[in-house]
C-alpha cells in the first residue's frame, strides 16, 4: 500500500514539472510568425478606392507620421487624397522597425482598371511610412533586390478578379513561400476574398478588415495564424 502511495506521489510530481514545459511549447507554437503577410490595398491599407479616382497622383501632402517626424502622409489625385488608415501606418512602421522578425510583405489587390492599378503603383512610391522611407520600400524589405513580382495590383492578365486563381499563385511562385506560411488581410466588402482565398489556396490564414485595418484585427490575424500552426 505504502509503495503504491509513493508511486502515485512520484507521478504527480513528474506531471507538475512537465506541465510548464508543455505550456511553454504551446506558447512558442502559438506565437509562430507568418513568413509572408499579404495585403489588399483599397479599403484595407488605404482609402479611397482607386477606381473612384480620375487623375494620376500629382503631389504629396506632408504631415506628421505618427510621431516619427514629418513626411508624405497623403497623395493628391485630383480633388481626392490617398491616405493610409492610421493603424495601417502603425503596423507598417512596426515592420520597418523589425518588430515582426523575418516576416516579409506582399500585395494582392484587384484594382478594377489598368488606370486604377497605375494610380496605386504611383502612390506606393510617394506615401511615406517614416521620413524618407516609402510604402514600396517597406513592402520590398527583406526581398531580393529588384524583386517586384510580390506586389500584384490589378486584374489585367495574368491577373484577374479572383485573387486565389492569379495573385496568390504568382506571389507563391515569386517568393517561394508556401500557402500555410501566409497571412492575408482584405476588407472583403465587395467580394469575400478572404473566404475565396482560404478555400482555393489551402493553408492561407485570412483576416477581414471591413473598416480599413484596425490594430485589433492585425493582432487577431497573428493569433489566428498561430492557432492554425498549433493545429498542424
- Asked, for residue 108, whether it belongs to a domain, the answer is yes
The whole-angstrom separation of Cα 230 and Cα 25 is 10
- Asked, for residue 38, whether it belongs to a domain, the answer is yes
pLDDT at 146: 84
Tally of CB atoms within 10 A around 35: 17
Per-residue pLDDT of the chain (232 residues; tens, 9 = 90+): 444 444 444 444 444 333 333 333 333 344 789 999 999 999 999 999 999 999 999 899 999 999 999 999 999 999 999 999 999 999 999 999 999 999 999 999 999 999 999 999 999 999 999 999 999 999 999 999 888 999 999 999 999 999 999 999 999 999 999 999 999 999 988 889 999 999 999 999 999 999 999 999 999 999 999 999 888 7
Q: Measure CA 194 to chain center.
A: 12
Report DSSP state, residue 180: G
Q: Indicate the number of domains in the chain.
A: 1
- Asked, for residue 155, whether it belongs to a domain, the answer is yes
Q: What does the block give as the cell for 108?
A: 494582392
pLDDT at 231: 85
Domain containing residue 80: CATH number: 3.40.50.1000
Exposed/middle/buried for residue 223 (C-beta within 10 Å: 0-12, 13-18, 19+):
middle
- Asked, for residue 4, whether it belongs to a domain, the answer is no
Domain limits for position 79:
34-231
Report DSSP state, residue 211: T
Q: Which residue has the cell 503504491?
A: 4
- Asked, for residue 191, whether it belongs to a domain, the answer is yes
One DSSP character per residue, 81-103 reads: EEEE-HHHHHHHHHHHTTTTTT-
- Asked, for residue 18, whether it belongs to a domain, the answer is no
The whole-angstrom separation of Cα 112 and Cα 107 is 15
- Asked, for residue 192, whether it belongs to a domain, the answer is yes
- Asked, for residue 12, whether it belongs to a domain, the answer is no
Amino acid at each position: 500500500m505504502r509503495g503504491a502511495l509513493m508511486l502515485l506521489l512520484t507521478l504527480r510530481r513528474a506531471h507538475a514539472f512537465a506541465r510548464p514545459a508543455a505550456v511553454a511549447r504551446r506558447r512558442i507554437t502559438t506565437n509562430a510568425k507568418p513568413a509572408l503577410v499579404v495585403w489588399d490595398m483599397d479599403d484595407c491599407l488605404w482609402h479611397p478606392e482607386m477606381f473612384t479616382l480620375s487623375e494620376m497622383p500629382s503631389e504629396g501632402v506632408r504631415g506628421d507620421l505618427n510621431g516619427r517626424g514629418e513626411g508624405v502622409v497623403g497623395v493628391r489625385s485630383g480633388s481626392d487624397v490617398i491616405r493610409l488608415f492610421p493603424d495601417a501606418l502603425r503596423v507598417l512602421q512596426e515592420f520597418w522597425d523589425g518588430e515582426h522578425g523575418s516576416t516579409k510583405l506582399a500585395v494582392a489587390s484587384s484594382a478594377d482598371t489598368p488606370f486604377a492599378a497605375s494610380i496605386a503603383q504611383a502612390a506606393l512610391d510617394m506615401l511615406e511610412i517614416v521620413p524618407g522611407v516609402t510604402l514600396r520600400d517597406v513592402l520590398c524589405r527583406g526581398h531580393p533586390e529588384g524583386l517586384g513580382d510580390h506586389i500584384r495590383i490589378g486584374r489585367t492578365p495574368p491577373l484577374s478578379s479572383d485573387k486565389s486563381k492569379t495573385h496568390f499563385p504568382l506571389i507563391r511562385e515569386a517568393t517561394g513561400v508556401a500557402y500555410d506560411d501566409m497571412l492575408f488581410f482584405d476588407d472583403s466588402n465587395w467580394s469575400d476574398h478572404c473566404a475565396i482565398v482560404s478555400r482555393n489556396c489551402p493553408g492561407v490564414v485570412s483576416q477581414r478588415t471591413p473598416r480599413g485595418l484596425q490594430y485589433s484585427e492585425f493582432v487577431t490575424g497573428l493569433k489566428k495564424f498561430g492557432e492554425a500552426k498549433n493545429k498542424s
